[in-house]
A = this chain, B = another copy of it.
Amino acid sequence: MERITIVGMGLIGTSLGMALKNGGTRAQIVGFDIERGVASKAKKRGGLDIVASNLEEAVEGARLVVLATPIPVMKELLSFLSTRLADGCVVTDVGGTKANVIQWADELLPSNVNFVGGHPMAGSERSGPEAGSEALFRGVLYPICPSTKAHPDATKTVADMVEAIGAKPYFMDPYEHDTYVAGVSHLPFLLSVSLVATTSKSPSWREMHKVAASGYRDISRLASGDPLMHLGVCETNRDNIVHWLDECIKQLYETRNMIKSGEMAKVHQLLVNAQDARARWVAGVEPGAAPMVEVSAKDVMNNMFVGNYVGKKVGSLRSDQQDQTHSQQKTKDQKR
């Protein structure tokens, strides 16, 4: 019987096994985790057929090996596995960055083994086999980055696995992958961490945390992610992450200056543009397909600060109110 081995039975490893079994795979799923008891928990969740007692046994005769560990251990893992994989074995991983892992695989794996990197773009702030779900990958994008040394058949093996778990294969260059995810995954994660770090270290947090509501909950969610997993991402994507942090710090500083100096028309334009850009993204509209909404400073002033809101429809309010403002002014003057 064909064997698929999953190394690392956390959220992703367990969910992958569950999704494969749920998809009716005929292969036997073998699972291994370095932490005692974790693979057994994954088995209880339906994430694997056989718990391997050690790594060597786990990969014996496997046609496909999925590395579902944090990135920092992958180099050593590849080194250990290099002499223990079956001829023609396909190795893939699920790490959040791709260039380094592929480089390690090219250096360490023998030529009769094929490496095809992968990155299921799914996750949860929860971790461990208990959080596993057969539906985790359903409909999600799954970038696939083959090593230049990999045989096309190996790439097909991984793409088939991706389709079997309900995800969408998306072929990418590993460097391109790492640049993009730095902006759309690692930057959001670090913003989330920075929000929590900034607020929770403040002396006012002791009272302030009581009024933190759904907005705080949403934006801080990613900060609950597994530190080790994210550390690996930060370590293997340093330059790209620094680039996006710099861009975002610049944006925040501009925003801060607009608010500080009371340039409310500029702030309004910023908010409208962001709302518009996100609406396009959510709707799947190509960026730049139509001109962005333009709100002139004059429109904002008219709509908001000159009383159009009240004045527009309440009959004779305009003159009425001018009179009133005038009379109030008089009252104030008289008080002086």
Which chain A residues have a beta carbon within 8 Å of chain B's beta carbons?
Answer: 34, 36, 54-56, 69-70, 72-73, 76-77, 79-80, 82-83, 107-108, 121-123, 140-141, 143, 170, 172, 176-177, 179-181, 183-185, 187-200, 202, 204-225, 227-228, 230-231, 234-235, 238, 241-242, 244-253, 255-256, 259-260, 262, 264, 267-268, 270-275, 277-279, 281-282, 286-288, 304-305, 307, 309-310, 312-315, 317, 320-321, 324-325, 328
Contact = CB atoms under 8 A, between A and B. Distances in A.
A199 B184 contact: yes
Contact of A209 (B72, B219, B287): B287
25 contacts: A76-B307, A77-B310, A79-B325, A80-B310, A80-B320, A108-B328, A121-B214, A177-B211, A184-B209, A184-B213, A185-B213, A188-B216, A190-B255, A191-B191, A192-B219, A192-B274, A196-B274, A200-B278, A206-B286, A224-B282, A227-B275, A231-B304, A235-B262, A245-B256, A249-B253
Contacts of A249: 249, 252-253, 256
Contacts of A255: 190, 193-194, 197, 245
Given A141-B211, A206-B288, A218-B218, 9 more contacts: A80-B310, A80-B320, A122-B213, A191-B219, A194-B255, A220-B281, A234-B259, A234-B264, A249-B256
Which 5 interchain pairs have the tightest Cβ spacing?
A200-B277, A227-B271, A121-B213, A188-B219, A184-B212
Contacts of A312: 34
Contact of A309 (B34, B278, B282, B286): B34
A140 B314 contact: no
Nearest to A81: B310
A304 B271 contact: no
A171 B335 CA distance: 32
B310 A76 contact: yes
A199 B307 CA distance: 35
A236 B299 CA distance: 20
Given A141-B213, A304-B72, A245 B234 contact: no
Nearest to A306: B76
Contact of A211 (B181, B188, B216, B238): B181
A186 to B, nearest CB: 9
A246 B231 CA distance: 25
A231 B314 contact: no
Contacts of A250: 198
B205 A198 contact: no
Contacts of A79: 321, 324-325, 328
A252 B256 contact: no
A282 to B, nearest CB: 8
Contacts of A272: 227
